[in-house]
Structure 1
Amino acid sequence: MIDAIDTFVREYGVLAVFAGSAAEGESVAIVGGFFAHQMLLPLWQTYLAALVGTFVGDTAYYVFGKRFADHRWVQKMRTKPGFSHAMRLAQTRPRAFVFLNRYAYGLRLLGGVCCGLAKIDWGTFLIYNLLSSIVWATVFVGIGYFFGLGVEALIGDALHDHQRVIIAVAIVLAVSLLAAIVVRKVMAREKQSES
């Protein structure tokens, strides 16, 4: 079983980093960096997949907000907690909002749609989205890579296949749990301020 997972990571890991980074992919980018340190994935391909994935994902959300403002899905998003606050930020501080939006875990899709609805021009969006994508990929793939260095120092030079999988699962669970706690607190605070 572990050999099959190892083979899967080697063959499809870069594609998974791209797909995960296009969504809410911090944990995927971190795991990709960890696997790059373990030499299961090439570092430069992992980094590029995270960068392009996050850029394409946020651009798709932006286009959706810009082109489909009347779609029922977008109308439903407008009722979510935090939407009015995100929209206000997108309108008053468009450059900062585009750059920082991808760091608001759980709100990235909503923020991308807000960028399109706020009528942020293409040039501004693309430049700040690219700059943010570069920083995001560097930070999260780098965290995974340097986490691999720390684990190697604790466990030894060569991690066994089962240890890699356990560590990768632990990374995903830890990041997801932390993100869920942060999102829950932000949403609770937002509901209180809207009341």
Structure 2
Amino acid sequence: MTETLHQFVEHYGLMAVFLGCLAEGETVAILGGFFAHQHVFALWQTLLAVFAGAFAGDTAFFALGRSFAQTGLVRRISRKPGFDRARQLVTDHPNIYVLSNRYIYGMRILGGVVAGLSGIATARFLVLNAISAAVWATLFCGFGYLFGLGAEQIVGRALLHHERLLVAFAIGVIVMAAAIAIARHLLGREKAREHRAG
């Protein structure tokens, strides 16, 4: 069973990394870095897949806001907590907003749509988005690579196939739990701010 899973990761893992990074993707990027350390993927291929997914995802959300502002989907997104604050931020500090938006868990989709609805030029967004995606890919793949290095230091040898999968599962659980806790905290703060403003 573990051998089959490992072969699946080897054959389809980079495509999964690309697809996983289209939306939030932090967990997937970290897992990609971990498997790159384990020589399941080449590091440069992992970085490229993470970068391409992050760049393509945010560009698609930007295009959604720019070209489909009147659709029901964009209207629903515009009613989410934090939308008005994000719109104010992109208006006041467009460069900083585009460069930093992807680092706030739960804001990638909302943030890209807000940028599309703003007056920021498409070429400017694409350049800033590429810079941000490159830094993000390096950072989160680097975290995963360090996880792999740490796991080998603890075990004292190269990880076996089933150990790789167990460590990957543990990384996923830890990162998802942390992300959910942070997202709940930020959402609670935003709701409290809107309540005070209302």
Which TM-score band applies after superposition, normalised by the shorter structure? over 0.9
Aligned position for 1:176: 176
Aligned position for 1:161: 161
Measure how far apart 1:170 and its partner are. Answer: 1.0
Which residue type is aligned with residue 14 of structure 1? L
Aligned position for 1:95: 95
List alignment gaps of at least 5 residues for structure 1. Answer: none
Alignment check: 8 A CA contact 1:66 1:119 kept: no
Q: State the distance in 1 between where 2:53 and 2:78 align.
A: 25
1:145 matched to 2:145? The reply is: yes
Aligned position for 1:125: 125
Measure how far apart 1:92 and its partner are. Answer: 1.1
Which residue type is aligned with residue 175 of structure 1? V
Aligned position for 1:43: 43
Measure how far apart 1:173 and its partner are. Answer: 1.1
Measure how far apart 1:90 and its partner are. Answer: 1.1
SS in 2 for 1:159: coil
Which residue type is aligned with residue 119 of structure 2? K
Q: State the distance in 2 between where 1:174 and 1:83 align.
A: 28
List alignment gaps of at least 5 residues for structure 2. Answer: none
Q: State the distance in 1 between where 2:36 and 2:85 align.
A: 38
Alignment check: 8 A CA contact 1:36 1:42 kept: yes
Q: State the distance in 1 between where 2:89 and 2:170 align.
A: 34
Aligned position for 1:54: 54
1:78 matched to 2:78? The reply is: yes
SS in 2 for 1:185: helix
Which residue type is aligned with residue 99 of structure 1? L
Measure how far apart 1:193 and its partner are. Answer: 0.8
Q: State the distance in 2 between where 1:147 and 1:174 align.
A: 12
Measure how far apart 1:156 and its partner are. Answer: 2.1
Measure how far apart 1:80 and its partner are. Answer: 0.9
Runs of 4+ aligned structure 1 residues displaced above 3 Å come to none
Q: State the distance in 1 between where 2:56 and 2:145 align.
A: 23
TM (norm. structure 1) is: 0.98
Measure how far apart 1:160 and its partner are. Answer: 1.4
Aligned position for 2:105: 105
TM (norm. structure 2) is: 0.96
Aligned position for 1:21: 21
Q: State the distance in 2 between where 1:83 and 1:172 align.
A: 28
1:31 matched to 2:21? The reply is: no
Alignment check: 8 A CA contact 1:10 1:41 kept: yes
User: How big is each residue's C-alpha offset from its partner over 1:22-53, in whole Å with a ceiling of 9 and x where there is no partner?
Assistant: 11111101001100111111111001000111
Count, aligned residues? 195
CA RMSD of aligned residues (A): 0.8
